[in-house]
Amino acid sequence: MTVTLRPTDWRDLRVIHKNRSKGLYLDTARVLTRGSSFASGVVRSIFLSATGAFTWVCTDECEQPVLGQFAHIPKEPFARLVLLAPDEALESEITVDLLEGLARQAGEHGAFHLLAEIPEDSSAFESLRKAGFVVYARQRIWKLQENGEGYKVAIPWVTAAKDKINAAQSLYHNLVPGLVQQIEPLPSRNVGGLVCHDDGELLGYVDLQSGPRGIWAQPFIHPDTIDVDRRLRDMFDCIPNRRSRSVYLCVRSYQSWLESALNKMEARPGPQQAVMVKHLAAKHTVLRPFTLPQLDGQPEISTPVAQSHQNS
């Protein structure tokens, strides 16, 4: 059986239209902030390469074509699977072939890891495992409710200024497991989001992603913080330019204690998701003998010099 993997082009417009309502989305933040317009997102990736999204199609002689898309921001260490379609083909071997092909393409674009977020009861879960993806965290998405009229912020959350980056980095490194840090490092520059201080102590940092459909918030809250539900209510009211957009809070398994505060806030929980990764490259140090020139009659000396390589 011959399997063909190639970028989508104008020849696939009929297939894209046919499957426009049959896609599985694997980048939750993108869907909640930008919407889930399958067809328009795929068509944009065909004709507008600047979108940073890349869509491929996998076919063979027997099965229907399967579409997949990943997104990668230049210089970021990871890419994200965005969607797979159609739903009825996600358990097939051709989907595994497609996932392996997308991983190769993501690596060629400079990503070290390919990430996917998926409910564990999804039909695509086993296909991801067969393609080399493993679970490294779990998460639940909560939709925050409006605070009551007349609510007053007790401790304001403010934009993370440059002089607060080191404090946000330190909080992130203290809260997040090392395995996750290796895959999703906090940017060393241009940290975006809000920070909350009380008596000079950093209580929390929240990373924000905004889109026309909603706002995604990823919190990092110090476990010694008291009145966490009040701090999260304050954060909700301090989000700039929120307007009428919905706010979604992503709680990872290593901060699951926040869920009791969210229940007090009457936030709406979504299903638990597995956060999966396929490693595309590994950095390692290679020692290469290096011969120093002879000096003042001394014998030549072979000295190992460390070089950094990447293995795909």
204 and 237 part of one domain: yes
What is the model's pLDDT at position 312? 45
Residues 119 and 151 in one domain: no
R_g of the chain computed on alpha carbons: 23
More confident residue, 93 or 142: 142
Q: Do the domain assignments include residue 293?
A: no
pLDDT at 207 over 50: yes
149 falls in which pLDDT band (50, 70, 90)? Answer: confident
User: If you average pLDDT over residues 146-158, what whole number do you get?
Assistant: 90
- Using CA atoms, how far apart are residues 168 and 185, in angstroms rounded to an integer? 12
pLDDT of residue 22 exceeding 90, the answer is no
User: Helix count (H) and strand count (E) of the chain?
Assistant: 9, 15
Per-residue pLDDT at 307: 47
pLDDT of 256 strictly over 60: yes
Q: Looking at the structure, tell me whether residues 191 and 264 fall in a common domain.
A: yes
Confidence of residue 65 (pLDDT cuts 50, 70, 90): confident
Residue 51, in any domain of the structure: yes
Residues 9 and 124 in one domain: yes
Write the DSSP assignment of 101-126 as a string of letters. HHHHHHHHTT-SEEEEEE-TTSTTHH
For range 234-254, the mean pLDDT: 95
290 domain-assigned: no
CA-CA distances (angstroms) from residue 237 to 39, 71, 143, 253?
35, 31, 14, 25
What would the pLDDT profile of 28-63 be if each residue is shown by its tens digit? 999 999 887 655 566 666 555 556 888 888 887 666
Is the per-residue pLDDT at 283 higher than 60?
A: no
Query: What domain range includes position 96?
Result: 4-132
Does residue 14 lie within any of the structural domains? yes
Last residue of a domain, one of 103, 132, 161: 132
The whole-number pLDDT of residue 191 equals 64
**d(Cα 99, Cα 133) in Å, to the nearest integer?**
10
CA atoms within 13 A on the CB side of 210: 10
Domain count for the chain: 2
Residue 25 to residue 85: CA distance in whole angstroms: 9
- Residue 130 CA to residue 113 CA, distance in Å, equals 16
Distances (CA, A) of 140 to 82, 98, 249: 18, 27, 8
The amino acid present at 268, given as its one-letter code, is R
- The residue with greater pLDDT, 196 or 298, is 196
Length of the chain measured in residues: 312
* Section 164-177 average pLDDT: 88
Give me the pLDDT at residue 47, please: 54
What local confidence, expressed as pLDDT, does residue 199 receive?
A: 85
**Rounded to 5°, angle at Cα 266 from 261 and 272:** 75
Show contacts of 46-52: CB within 8 Å, 24+ apart: 46/7, 46/8, 46/9, 46/10, 46/12
pLDDT at 33: 93
Same domain? For 155 and 267 the reply is: yes
* Domain assignment present for 289: no
Long-range residue pairs from 91-96, CB within 8 A, at least 24 positions apart, any chain: 91/123, 91/124, 91/126, 91/127, 92/63, 92/66, 92/127, 94/3, 94/58, 94/59, 94/60, 94/63, 94/66, 95/58, 95/66, 95/68, 95/124, 95/127, 96/127, 96/130, 96/131
Per-residue b/e over 231-264, b at no fewer than 16 CB within 10 Å? bbbbbbebbeeeeebbbbbbbbbebeebeebbee
CATH of the domain at 17: 3.40.630.30
Residue 109 has pLDDT above 50, yes or no: yes
Residues 190 and 117 in one domain: no
* Least trusted range by pLDDT, from 46-50, 114-118, 178-182, 210-214: 46-50
Whole-model pTM?
Answer: 0.84
More confident residue, 124 or 47: 124
> Please, what is the end-to-end C-alpha distance for the chain in angstroms?
26
Lowest mean pLDDT among 30-34, 131-135, 136-140, 304-308: 304-308
Q: Which of 44-48, 78-82, 111-115 has the lowest mean pLDDT?
A: 44-48
